[in-house]
Structure 1
Amino acid sequence: MQGMKVWLGAGASSLAIGLGMPAWAQTPPAQEQQVSQIDDIVVTARRREETLVDVPISITVQTGEQLENRGATDITALQRVTPNLTLQVSRGTNSTLTAFIRGVGQQDPLWGFEPGVGLYVDDVYVARPQGAVLDIFDIERIEVLRGPQGTLYGRNTIGGAIKYVTRDLDMKEPEFRVRAAIGTKNQRDLVLSGSAPLGDRVAVGGAFATYNRDGFGANHFTGADTYNKDVIAGRATIEFHPSDNLFFRLSGDYTEDNSNANHGHRERPVPAPLLALVPQTECRSVFANVYDTCAGLGDGNQVINKGVSLLGEWRASDSLTFKSITAYREGVTHSNGIDFDNLPGPILDIAAGGTVYEDNQFSQEFQLQYSSDRLQGVAGVYYLDATAGGQYDTILQAANLTQGTSGSVDTRSFAIFGDFSYDLTDRLAISVGGRWTRDTKDAVVFKANYAGLGSPIVGRNVAPAQILSDYTASDTYEEFTPRLSASYELTPEFNVYAAYGRGFKSGGFDMRGDATATPATKNGYAPEIVDSYEIGLKGAAFDRRLRLSTALFYSDYQGQQITTQQVNPAGTGVVSFVDNVGSSTIWGWEFEGQARLTNRLTANLALGYTNASFDQYLAYVPNPAAPPAYIQTDVSASRQFQNTPEWTANFSLAYAVPLSNGGDVSILGSMSFRSDTSMFETPFPEVDQPAYQLYDLNITYTSPDSRWKVGLHGRNLTDERYRTGAYTFAYTPAAPATVIYGDSVIGFYGPPRTVSLTVGYTF
């Protein structure tokens, strides 16, 4: 709370600066009389180009240059500058994304589960979170759309959407860019990109990036690095203009992440009943370095994602444009699995036997865009055919037991959508949109207990001792998601808006479901629905030297899909549930402001507040009358929203120093704040993250001709230790059988202090 007071004080001071600007503007110092304006920002949040101030949606935009100037290497850096956003690397992985906006998201990356925040790369929906921690290279901008985007972006955008927009090719002049970085822990990054016209109608371009870094910690059992980075990525594009009214863009991308497995850090010492299974005395205690482990499952890990897309546009007239977006993507994860106990032996290991996850998706979207003096909008159809599957063993050494889980889910989605805005007067505009979505899912689920350590998944020739789930199932989910908004131009520089939108996330089947403990798992779980209401203000003042946007929002959240994994007190394995636990209410506030205080000094402030509470939370708890069965009861009074801090904030100051040679040096300092965060719906103080602040400092030199750029970037300068994820398979002496899970209370941490030097040159 003390940290929040500091932030509120900073915010109040910044607002006071902004509100006090009239007096400052009336009597400015002579050297500051020519204060430059803040540029307009063009976005495509409504699938058409508009200035940010005209869009009745809460949006944060970061350009590729802004992210580079902050020393950002991947999209999780957006969390520091975006109100009410959680964007982190998922627990136990290096490249799987956990995304929450305004309390809505999905933490569990198992195949078949849908994200609550949609990720789009050049308007292509990325259906799975695996490999979605996208690196920052060859991008124009990233847009973060907060609140349900169920009309234009459809399924699984009930929390919002993140749009990763790559650079267009230069059709006139060849261009080549190189950017290299060295830094803490032997960081070695290289990004090459460029484009060249081939005549008047064709251009080709591409980018290649490699990211390498030693680990922040070590595996004391194997000697391997932990939290290291070993990634290569590439993109190739060809653009073709057969005529002034036709445009085609063919793009392909490939990413390969060979970083070591991220096993995490034990937060508890080995319990006395299990000491005999851990002869390595060094591994019995809690390591002082939170990036260290003693995991014995193995460190090899590989995630490959690749895709191709074709964009076609035909401008039929000045007001009518047809667009087609065709895409195919696939991904695979090769891994030994995740060592949940972080100990040399397989006390609680998730072993995969080579391939733990794979998916593919085909999508096709047709759009019709219309624009006239008063009416603008888009209508279209969308189709997705996706498959995801995987397998793994849950090995419990102390019980001499293995649970094998495998399966797949096929998804076919079809949608019809439209969204149009009409200017009733020169100041008043209304927007009406809607989307009808039909999803069909076919699931195959298998789960069994095996005596001994390992199942056929890891190559052991053994028959099941008990089949827990063995079924196929299918279901169809339909929903209409409308959106209504009205905006009014208070002045030529200020707009106020009010909006209502509905979000829809499809239902499905629990790939881990145990039909013996909870027979209803065969029926699957229902969709989620969010109805969101928002009012906001956007605009500029003082000759556009100040820009701000603010919004109040209220959401009614129904049918929340929540994954619960817990130890079975009877000692028969890990029990998993995915259920529609009930309903909740979410409301809050956001503010973003940028002020050009002088020719050289710019201030940015972002504040977010989210109040999220469960109205009903129906959870499965052990049935004392008939163990190991479970019964359902309302436990809303003891549950919290996960990955949803009440307060988020960022404050930064940028100062530009012109040099005598015509170049300049920019100094950017920033602070970001997040209040207390619960890792799961059930609070667990040992891993829940207290409030913390991160401090960054960036110094960038730009040459007179803007070809050279040299940057020195310090991130997390106070070396804060903060958790981004956890596992809690705790030992409870009152339930002695739970000792078989190794008292595995595990934390996963964000990067420590890092310093890097970047050098870039544009030919």
Structure 2
Amino acid sequence: MRSLYGVAAAVTVALGGAVCGVSHAQTAAADAQANDSLENIIVTARRREEQVQDVPLAISVVNAAQLEQTGTFNVGKLSQIQPSIQFYSSNPRNSAANIRGLGAPFGLTNDGIEQGVGIYIDQVYYARSATATFDFLDVDQIEILRGPQGTLYGKNTTSGAINVTSRKPSFTREADAELTYGNLGFAQGKASISGPLIDDKLAFRLGTSYTQRDGTIRNAYTGEDINEQDNLGFKGQLLWQPSDDLSVTFSADYTHSNPLGFGQLYVRTGSTQRPLSRQYAALAAASNNYQVPSTDPFDRVTDLDANLSAKQNFGGGSALVEWDVGPGRFTSVSAYRKWDWVPANDRDFIGLPITTISENPSQQRQWTQEFRYAASSEKLDYVAGLYGFYQTIDTNGVQEQGELASRWLLSGANANNPAILDGLRAENDIGLKNTSVAAFGQVTWHVTDDLRLQPGLRVNYDKKDGRYIATVTNSTNTPLTPAQLGVLAPQNYTPKFDDTNISGDFTVSYDIADNVLAYGTYARSFKSGGINLSGLPLDANNQPITAVETVKPETVNHYEAGLKTQWLENRVTANLALFWTEIDDYQATVTNSQANVIRGYLANAEQIRVRGVELDLSTRPLDGLTVYANGAYNDHEYTSFPDAPCPPELSGGTAASAANPPSAPGTPGGFSPPSCDISGQWLPGISKYSASYGLQYDLPVAALGRTGSVFFAFDGLYRSEFSSNPSRSAYTDVDGYSLANFRAGINIGNGWQVYGWARNAFDEEYFDFLSTQSGSTGLVIGQPGDPRTYGVTVRGSF
């Protein structure tokens, strides 16, 4: 008894307002229809099976064939086929998936806040953003929904959700396997097997995946390639069906990842307000005339001298109970998840002993329980549920400064005394206990055959208890000096947050004509408040500013209108969505204004706004040919953020005053304002224009007594320029770019397929993100996007 209840409850991607675009264009040849109509897609966004075009939500659906053929083997890769998704990752822990530019603050991850985009796998919410970097295991379908979600499923998410559904155990024996080999040592293998254990009562499914790829950046210091891929995962399921009305699915999975990485490299320099002798060029010259291996970032070479590690273990188990009782279905989802993270980083980003150790190993555990009942009748459809979430995080971090730290982080005579900072060490004990419980529900009233009203309500309680204990010592075990305290200061605080909020949404939908659906939605939602768990900024006396221990909840007001249409006997799908979202007390990761401190912290921006239009088109103009184009326009800004940290070009100078007003940006030795008004500026990480487009053509052939097809496909992606710093900087805007992917092959028949592929076929040079070195030195570092890759894939079913 197969159910997708809960799939769409967690999916809201930032693609175009429609759902078909990429899905239709990338359907495998084996699934191509013999006529000119686009296939119907069934979803359960409202806890019942419906055609996606009948659902008054902006949804995108990607099936297993599309994922496999486009090389989308983890959530992070979705952004390359979905124009409204943004994904940024400097390492698995510091990863964020956003929809329409909203979800998680841009920058280093802070454990004390929630994700705005929920990632769900088999109806289980995954609290860690590192999930996005793991390989999919035996996936059947991904549903992506945009906008606030929360009145239909467990954990509240204010920006959208990405819901992954695995293939279910089958009572018919089946197996499939896939092998891929490509340049850069890319090797990937996937396999699954399923079948009955006891007639029609008990079935199993086993799946595995392995991915290996050489690093894309050469570390000249060690002679190794970094930023590798190295994932090995297993998943097992048991389906027990004691009766036609009851099924229980037990799932367990485990993934181990141990790539060499991660690191960024030199991109360029830009002037700050720090004295010229304290900026990058002068500091490098004073450090034995240090030079990076290359000043061209697309040479892809660096010289990081600190240890690098990105080891992680991820796993857990769940029990899904589905019971048809009364007029509807009762669902229970019980789950336990664990994530162990063992990193090592080079936080000065160059081959000098400035910060020699930066490691924050972390262990996260989470327990979740959801109860839900959904039913339908002629006039009313409804769902009601209860949800509980408990999470613990324990981190024991170390940061240590090296022999050149004084020169780079201090000024005056202190800069010439390496003993001041050499061996300065902070050992951090960080913890979080996070509890969330909620009751939620939604009703759809069929006023007439064409008109429907859909109100939803959620009551949510959140509580967070944290600890941050930083013990700082120097190499001489003597009392810390003011200069040392300005770099690493002891801190001991126990932030707490708890709050109850009520949120809801209301949707009106109307069938204007056959295959023409119009809808409008208003949603008011809340993202839980948070606590700062990366250390607090210091005041003029090097004391923690306790006023920023916590950040307020985000208040979201979201408006959306959409039109979902199909034309010419379903050969053309055209979907349009217009959205306007305002968030008060937006949770931002901001750069610490102190010149010597490495980490940022959380703060509330008074208000932000994103608004835009999304258009998705797909058509089958000829038998075997599918064409699609999805576009998104997103106008975004800080509506009000008058006291934001300043960008790098205004940082690092002497404090400005009435007598000495702020200097022009990038004036060495100038005067820096204590804060900047960035109201009206771009939000980080969002492109104003984005699009995906492509085609696939399948031509039936018969050879050697088999009937199959040959196919050719092209997929393209465009993103315009975006800001890569919380306060927009002239130095960290990322240029727009276009990517082109090709594949061609043959479906041999009986489930066998062979094809070649090329991704980023024209070897476009682009950055995933840019950032700056701490200390206002003017160094800009970045992570280049993947170069051209190519290879061959063989897939078979048995």
Name the structure 2 match of 1:475: 497
Aligned Cα root-mean-square deviation (Å): 2.7
Partner of 1:526: 552
1:383 counterpart (388, 411, 427): 388
Q: Partners in 2 of 1:177 and 1:74 — Cα distance?
A: 19
Pairwise CA distance, 1:225: 1.3
Find 1:367's aligned residue among 357, 365, 372: 372
Asked if 2 retains the 8 angstrom alpha-carbon contact of 1:451 and 1:465, the reply is no
Residue 746 of structure 2: aligned partner: 701
User: What SS does the aligned partner of 1:368 have?
Assistant: strand
Q: Is 1:587–1:611's contact at 8 Å kept on the other side of the alignment?
A: yes
TM-score w.r.t. structure 2 length? Answer: 0.84
Specify the code of the residue in structure 1 equivalent to 2:628.
N
Structure 2 Cα separation of the partners of residues 667 and 218 of structure 1: 34
Tell me what 2:564 maps to.
538
Query: What is the aligned counterpart of 2:97 among 94, 99, 102?
Result: 99
- Alignment-derived partner of residue 623 in structure 2: 599
SS of corresponding position for 1:197: strand
- AA aligned to 2:249 is R
Call closer, same or farther: CA 1:291–1:131 in 2, change over 3 Å: farther
Letter in structure 1 aligned against 2:364 = D
| TM-superposed deviation, 1:620 | 4.6
Structure 1 position 262, deviation (Å) = 1.2
Partner of 1:713: 757
SS in 2 for 1:48: coil
Higher mean alpha-carbon deviation, 207-216 vs 575-584, is at 575-584
1:491 paired residue number: 513
Pairwise CA distance, 1:500:
1.1
Task: Output the amino acid matched with 1:195.
Answer: S
Matches within 5 A, 1:675-694: 675-694=720-739
Segment drifting more, 70-79 vs 752-761 = 70-79
Identity in percent: 28
CA distance in 1: counterparts of 2:786 and 2:188, whole angstroms = 17
Alignment of 1:427-576 (within 5 A): 427-447=450-470, 449-452=472-475, 467-514=489-536, 516-517=538-539, 519-521=545-547, 523-566=549-592, 568-569=594-595, 571=596, 573-574=597-598, 576=600
Say if 2:456 and 2:505, in contact at 8 Å, map to a contact too.
yes
Contact 2:755 2:793 in 1 (8 A): yes
Deviation at 1:449? Answer: 4.5
Report which stretch shifted further, 468-477 or 189-198: 468-477
Contact 1:149–1:502 at 8 Å: present in 2 too?
no
Aligned residue type for 1:299: L
1:546 and 1:267 map into 2 onto residues whose CA distance is: 45
> What count of residue pairs does the alignment treat as equivalent?
704
Equivalent position of 1:314 in the other structure: 323
Unaligned runs of 5+ in 1: 1-14, 16-32, 456-461, 732-737
**Bigger mean CA offset, 634-643 vs 182-191:** 634-643
| Shift, 1:103, TM fit | 2.1
Is the CA contact (8 Å cut-off) linking 2:153 and 2:440 kept in structure 1? no
Distance 2:489 2:773 in 1: 23
CA distance in 2, matches of 1:327, 1:50: 27
Between the aligned partners of 1:348 and 1:454, the Cα distance in structure 2 is: 19
- Tell me how far apart the structure 2 counterparts of residues 349 and 43 of structure 1 sit (CA, whole Å): 51
Q: CA deviation at 1:61?
A: 1.1
Contact 2:331 2:371 in 1 (8 A): yes
Q: Residues 235, 391 of structure 1: CA spacing in aligned structure 2 closer, same or farther, 3 A cutoff?
A: same
For the pair 1:348 / 2:358, whether they are aligned, the reply is no
Tell me, in whole angstroms, the C-alpha distance in 2 between the residues paired with 1:646 and 1:342.
30
1:559 Cα deviation after fit: 0.7
Indicate yes or no: 2:194 matched with 1:195: yes
The equivalent of 1:253 in structure 2 is: 253
Distance 1:605 1:288, change over 3 A: closer
The 3-state SS of whatever aligns with 1:65 is helix
* CA displacement, residues 306-343 of structure 1 (integer Å, 9 cap, x when unaligned): 011100011113x22111000000101112x2212233
Evaluate the alpha carbon distance shift between residue 718 and residue 464 of structure 1 in structure 2; reply closer, same or farther with a 3 A threshold. closer
CA distance in 2, matches of 1:376, 1:156: 21
SS at match of 1:46: coil
Distance in 1 separating the partners of 2:548 and 2:354: 29
Q: Secondary structure at the match of 2:644?
A: strand
2:644 corresponds in structure 1 to 619
The alignment status of 1:582 with 2:606, answered yes or no, reads yes
Distance 1:133 1:34, change over 3 A: closer
Which digits, 9 at most, give the CA deviation of each residue in 1:263-320, with x for residues without a partner?
A: 11112476332445467x6636425545322111123330111011100011113x22
User: Is the alpha carbon distance of 1:427 and 1:744 closer, same or farther for their aligned partners in structure 2, counting shifts above 3 Å?
Assistant: same
Greater mean alpha carbon deviation, residues 408-417 or residues 293-302? 293-302
**Equivalents in 1 of 2:676, 2:556: separation in Å?**
21
Change (3 A) 1:641 1:153: farther
Matching residue of 2:53: 53
8 Å Cα contact 1:730-1:745 kept in structure 2: no
Whether the 8 Å contact between 1:514 and 1:521 is mirrored in structure 2 is no
- 1:133-282 matches, within 5 Å, as 133-153=133-153, 155=155, 157-171=157-171, 173-198=172-197, 199-268=199-268, 271-275=281-285, 277=287
* Secondary structure, counterpart of 1:37 in structure 2: coil
Q: Aligned residue for 2:668?
A: none
Give the Cα–Cα distance (whole angstroms) in 1 for the partners of residues 213 and 161 of structure 2.
30
Q: Match of 2:274?
A: none
Could you say what secondary structure the match of 1:426 adopts? coil
CA distance in 2, matches of 1:36, 1:689: 41
Q: Tell me which residue corresponds to 1:639.
A: 681
Does the 8 A contact of 2:154 with 2:386 survive in 1? no
Contact 2:154 2:387 in 1 (8 A): no
Distance 1:568 1:403 in 2: 17
The 1:159–1:201 alpha-carbon spacing in structure 2 relative to 1, beyond 3 Å, is same
Change (3 A) 1:188 1:699: same
Q: Which moved more, 1:122-131 or 1:73-82?
A: 73-82
Letter of the 2:373 counterpart: L
Q: Which amino acid aligns with 1:513?
A: G
Aligned partners of 1:34, 1:365: CA distance in 2, in Å? Answer: 42
